[in-house]
Structure 1
Amino acid sequence: MSEGRILIVEDEAIIAKEIEHALAGFGYEVLAVIPRGEDAVPFALRERPDLVLMDIMLAGAMDGTQAAAAIREQLDVPVIFSTAYTDRETLERVKPTTPYGYLVKPFEHTHLRITVETALYRARTERRLRAQEERLRQAEKMQAVGTLASGVAHDFNNILSAIIGYSEMGLRRVPEADPLHRMFDRILRAGARARSLVQLLLDFSRPAATDREPVDMAGVLEEALDVVRATLPAGVEVDYAPPGHPCPVRADPTQLHQVALNLMVNAVDAMRADGGRLTVRLGLCAQGSREDAACPPPLVGEPGPGAQGQGVALEVADTGRGMAPEVLRRACDPFFTTKPSGEGTGMGLAIVQGIVRSYGGWLALDSQPGTGTRATAVLPRAAA
């Protein structure tokens, strides 16, 4: 396993070859050596390197400063600049790109190694800190939602009981041919939806204690797939390959079914207009931790306590329109939805994340506009 994946952007072939050789000797994987900034940007966005080593003065339409700014605008990837120029004007030009290091040519291999290791360590530390801040922010938000739900649910349910009760009485007393009968029916339906929303809030804020037992996730997933296939819109295909081995987790089967079904329904909804492919995969991870798992994409949602050791990973991917970064950041927030009014509560992913975390697992989302979305739910594997 390499120490990190590095992109070299350097237009001097001899220097680039020397850097590539040195980095390979240090245990890093060099993804490519690219001499032009305008070629480096799309490559970096596609391959997502762990670090970019960027020459400032490049041949072509885009210099290193411009290329670094374009990469950093869309990727959270550290950039180290290398140059033979040390004048103040050059230094001022690179500052807005927030570089993680600066190598002055010619530089020794030891200096290269120290600078790269330091940049990678700093980038990982900053990501962990941001993740911890996000977990704290999410926890505070969930606590506020739970407090609100608990505070108003009882009184709100009393009001709904009166609305639903009188609607049922009206339906029984008014003939079906009377226009009032349809009005009472609509009131009753609206009251039932409101009661379901209150129950969703209560389930989310105060998860009920469940009986946990060893369950093969493969069986639960196939049951959920049967439900999805029965309501699949035209133009959407399902690609599912059974794992071929048990994927045991200790959980409540009903909650596992809810996790699988919600993830697949979300994926299908993303392709309902234009069609596409729903890809579902189930397997074992080398680790059940967000930091070390063999299958994590960039994450939304963080590992719960106890998420170590082997894990069972459920991946659900679609080829829909994908999500912009600002939407992706809020995807697991309660009541956040991009669907039209009346077509969704915005609680699906929030509930999935709550269930997964309650079992010591984590939920991850990876999405970009135009490329679809992949959701990964990882649960600790049950002992044999």
Structure 2
Amino acid sequence: MNNILTTTILIVEDELIAAESLALDLKKLGYHISAVVNSGEKAISQVEKSPPDLILMDIMLKGKMDGISAAQQIYHQWKIPIIYLSAYADTDTLQRAKATPVYGYLVKPYKIADISTTISMALAKYREDKHTEEELCAEKKINELKSRALATASHDLRTPLTNILGYTELIRDYGDRISPDKKERYFNFIKSAVGKMKDSLEDLLLISRAEEGKVTLYPQNFNLVEYLEILVEEYKNLSDEHQIKLCTNDNQYDVCLDQKILNHILHNLLSNAIKYSPQGGEVRLKLDKNEEEIILEIEDDGIGIPEDYQDKLFHLFERGNNVGNIKGNGLGLSIVKKAVELCQGNIFVESEENKGSKFTVVLPRVSL
């Protein structure tokens, strides 16, 4: 709609001579006429077949439907900008016209300069309104996301908080009768619960900031192999039923990445690999690389992902229909996707239900 030559205009005018004269003036200005019709009903039918960019609508159309009624229906359904045409109308009609979404008036007889100015201003105002509406929709989406994320956080934090409260009360009430080994276990449980709360909050914060475009990367140099070895050892201590394996032929591989963002990616993928392999088994973390890219594969032998769900895999709050009683909130993979995109990387998945899943994350070796 920025280019006059591509702007199509529908004329709705029941006076044939006036309609042809207006069409001729518009063609001189470089506009394309999609059609000329003489009633509100025909205008609606024409818009259904081929929506124009702008409509010039005579207010005082003859027939059952006047121009105002047609304009109301068209704008409500198609959101097409409308300019009213009028030679004279009574006060009630003008009040009705003012109550509709209108982008301008042309008073008969028209001057070609008035036509050009009115159309230009109408299209500019429509573009501005559309942009404002898109911004409001985006803001509404972010607010809805925050509300849902807050509800999710409330639910997810309740369990670790309950555990912390329970163990601290045990230590407080029976501390002198609890063996040192048991105390150490309780403290580890508390530490683990606090860690889960911290991870949940950081995940939710990442989603919120990413939606608003407010995430800043802080890359730093580190040995990726050493980082992965520590990560795998951490997960080995969290599960006795799974064998967590790191597959790499290197002892040293230096990268420059934001470790916090990498944490979001790998912690969520490894946690999912363990969680969705309820029968235990192997979870394999493989590192491949070249001069410019890091390729990380996380593979499990778990329940897999249904084929009809894989298109929605990275959407917020989505979960497969085969998860059964396995707890989750539908945030993990959407967080992974956001984090990978922030690093200018890509993520791919291969999965077969009841056979397992493999996620492949490709990241630049040096994050900018």
TM-score by structure 2 length? 0.45
Larger Rg: 2
